[in-house]
Amino acid sequence: MIYFEKLSFVSYLFFIFKASKYKNKNIIVFIEASIFAQKIVVPLLNFFGNTVSQLNFVMLEIIDKNDELIRTRIPRKDLFDFQKEILNSDAYKFLFNESWNQGHIVDYVNKGLISTSIMDPNSVSRMLYLINVLDFDMQRNDCKKSIFISKKRPWLELYQDYANKHNIKIIEIRDSFFTLFNLKKYVRSYPSLYKLIKNLKYGAMRNIDINLNTSSNKLFLDGRGDISLSNDGFHSDFFWQKNSDFLLKNVLYEYNSIEEKDYFVKNGLHSIGRGVYSGDGKLKNYIKPKLNFSNKYKKEFEIIKNELNSYDLDRFNNASFFKKYGVKVFLSWNKYSNDHMAWSDAIRDNGGISVNWQMAFDGYRSAGSLINSDIVFSHSKFSAEIEKKNKSKIQYNVIVGYPKDYAPALLRDTANQVRAQLKANGARKIVFVIDENSIDDSRWHTGHELQRENYSHILEKVLENPWLGVIFKPKRVINLRQRLGLVEKLLDEAIATGRCYIFEDSGRHTTSAPPILAGLASDVCIHGHLNAGTAAIECALEGLPTLLIDRERALYSKLNDLPKGKVVFQDWPSALDALMDYFNTPNGIDGFGDWSSIIDELDPFRDGLAAYRMGTYLKWLIDGFDEGLDREVIMLNAASKYKELWGEDKVISS
């Protein structure tokens, strides 16, 4: 069998000329195809006796011999192994330059080389995934060997070593006569042009808060778009500030619209518009990283060059920005790309401190979660150990507990109102169902069908049982109804009964209501995804019976240590059967939804003070800068204070 990553007229011509000995094969399968290929090339090839078709597969089918989802295994294991092969390759060793031994440059490059998103057609993850997809298709067609016609990528010999395990021969070809001009990468190679274009793009929002005091020490908050400044328990990027004595005047934030800017000004928050705030390039206090060149490693050279250009651009622009506005602390949640490493070096260029807080629970190590930061606020020792397995570089890992545990006390009244509304319409028992986001193409993501299951199964139960109610808090409500498809009709029928409630207010990206609000209004919480269990943890930490459905085979997640058949289930039908038994048993079922076996490993505090601990720690940092102390002294003093208050084992130093 011959597989094309992308079939086009040009790619087929290159295949004929470059792989002529295979051209007589008559079974051709393609993953993607150009419009011309679909309309003309495929019919012609079929007419002349070939069998040409598109490869049909869904992500949830691609599992290994251990029954682990390949999509999960790649960041957990394969990327670590592949990165090791890259670093030991002749190409990497030749291109490496001593100028990389500054700040986090080496880790920035190394993480960038194994971009983890399967959604990115050019990523290492996509190529490793495709090889496994081909292996899956070969097995179901009883095919022993195959040819994979892929587009040109760096590290071909390493991909071939990986493919050899599956008896797949890779042949690289061009899929067009011209290499597409990548404007984004080109612009980032020229800082002045990049600055001009970006400032023109966001020029309408470049007006700075006229009251911004650039001489005071500030914290720049890299938020998630939850702009609310109310301390009401709903999602807010400022949760740590609102639950501590950290002064809002010491926070600097980026607004996305004039409306947001006006809101911030009204509430006393300093904000800036998007744009580039860099100054004279002579202000750089580091050497621009270089790399060696060889025609032999041209593809590898180009990809590393792009990484170094991006690093240099981000570090210089952000260092200039921090200097201009007196930023001494950089706080972010985002560790999932290598961007934060350049920001971390940029704040250090100004004698400042980089801080990252753990937004989501990681049940196992993941190459995409590698983080380099001065300080990290972690949920627990378990989370800190995961960072070690990720090979993260953290000077002080501070255990604060689950950061949103302040919310229940603020949300109980609202939760009781929602619960009373459903009970007034006949609901004696109420279930909270937690979903995730989805995209159209189920080849690269779980797809809409998996999310539709999160709604259809429980909605059918609600319509069958007049005593049952359900609450939904969608992760992304903005396009939920579009993603639900025909299930939307079931949702509307259930809403009409008065026993179905859905939270629909949204921030820039995600629903504003936190999971615990729906949990507090319910008798049982069910998360349809064990692999993404943060929302379930939020409910379990509050002592609510919480179930997990492991449809994505996250075999190595810590959450799979929970009791099977009482907490962890393999599908919706079995979970709902157990739920109905629980509701129909007068005194319940012992251990049902009970997380006590691992709860201490998820959060050693569970006292509602995690946000306070975060905000207080950050205040100590700003106070240290106000006193004129050195960054290292400030961090040492803060760690010592924290240990005195919360225990020696709550700060892990590198």
The partner residues of 30 in beta bridges, in order of sequence, read: 4, 54
**Identity of residue 617:** Y
pLDDT digits (tens, 9 = 90+) for 556-601: 999 999 999 999 999 999 999 999 999 999 988 999 999 999 999 9
Q: Which residue has the tokens 């086009």?
A: 8
Q: How far is CA 636 from CA 218, 329, 347, 393, 628, in A?
A: 19, 15, 18, 17, 15
Instruction: Reply yes or no on whether the pLDDT at 616 is more than 70.
Output: yes
Mean pLDDT of 379-407: 97
DSSP 279-296: --GGG--SPPP-----GG
Lowest mean pLDDT among 59-63, 417-421, 618-622: 59-63
Strand order, beta sheet including 168-173:
51-54, 27-33, 2-7, 146-151, 168-173
Instruction: Reply yes or no on whether the pLDDT at 24 is more than 90.
Output: no
Rounded CA-CA distance 323/351 in Å is: 10
Smallest Cα–Cα separation from 375: which of 625, 631, 95? 631
Mean pLDDT of 229-247: 96
Q: What is the percentage of the chain residues whose pLDDT exceeds 90?
A: 75
- Report pLDDT for 203: 61
> What does residue 408 show for φ and ψ, rounded to 5 degrees?
-55, -40
Instruction: Reply yes or no on whether the pLDDT at 26 is more than 80.
Output: no
- Report pLDDT for 283: 65
- E strand residue ranges, 226-385: 251-254, 270-272, 327-332, 353-357, 372-378
The partner residues of 6 in beta bridges, in order of sequence, read: 32
- Report pLDDT for 49: 84
pLDDT digits (tens, 9 = 90+) for 315-350: 999 999 999 899 999 999 999 999 999 999 999 999
Number of CB atoms found within 10 A of residue 54's CB: 14
Give the residue with greater pLDDT, 115 vs 582: 582
**Predicted confidence band of residue 477 (pLDDT cuts 50, 70, 90):** confident
**Predicted confidence band of residue 277 (pLDDT cuts 50, 70, 90):** confident
Instruction: Reply yes or no on whether the pLDDT at 178 is more than 50.
Output: no
DSSP 481-518: HHHHTTHHHHHHHHHHHT-EEE---B-SSSBSS-HHHH
**Predicted confidence band of residue 411 (pLDDT cuts 50, 70, 90):** very high
pLDDT digits (tens, 9 = 90+) for 221-234: 999 999 999 999 99
Give the residue with greater pLDDT, 631 vs 274: 631
- Report pLDDT for 482: 85
> What does residue 6 show for φ and ψ, rounded to 5 degrees?
-145, 115
Rounded CA-CA distance 431/369 in Å is: 32
Instruction: Reply yes or no on whether the pLDDT at 25 is more than 70.
Output: no
Return the DSSP state at 171: E
Helices (H) and strands (E) in the chain, counts: 26, 19
650: which 2 tokens? 């709550």
- Cβ neighbours for 26, distance < 8 A, ≥ 6 positions apart: 49, 50, 51
pLDDT digits (tens, 9 = 90+) for 343-375: 999 999 999 999 999 999 999 999 999 999 999
Considering the entire predicted model, what is its pTM?
A: 0.93
**Predicted confidence band of residue 254 (pLDDT cuts 50, 70, 90):** very high
Q: What is the percentage of the chain residues whose pLDDT exceeds 70?
A: 92
Lowest mean pLDDT among 42-46, 280-284, 647-651: 280-284
**Predicted confidence band of residue 273 (pLDDT cuts 50, 70, 90):** confident
Smallest Cα–Cα separation from 602: which of 361, 359, 334, 396? 361
- Report pLDDT for 378: 98
Instruction: Reply yes or no on whether the pLDDT at 649 is more than 80.
Output: yes
Instruction: Reply yes or no on whether the pLDDT at 180 is more than 90.
Output: no
Instruction: Reply yes or no on whether the pLDDT at 210 is more than 60.
Output: no
- Report pLDDT for 208: 59
Mean pLDDT of 542-564: 95
Rounded CA-CA distance 596/551 in Å is: 23
pLDDT digits (tens, 9 = 90+) for 432-449: 999 888 778 889 988 888
The end-to-end CA distance of the chain, in Å, is 52
Rounded CA-CA distance 631/633 in Å is: 5
- Report pLDDT for 176: 59
In the predicted model, what is the mean pLDDT of the chain? Answer: 91
Q: How far is CA 67 from CA 60, 71, 84, 294, 366, in A?
A: 11, 12, 25, 43, 18
Rounded CA-CA distance 387/371 in Å is: 8
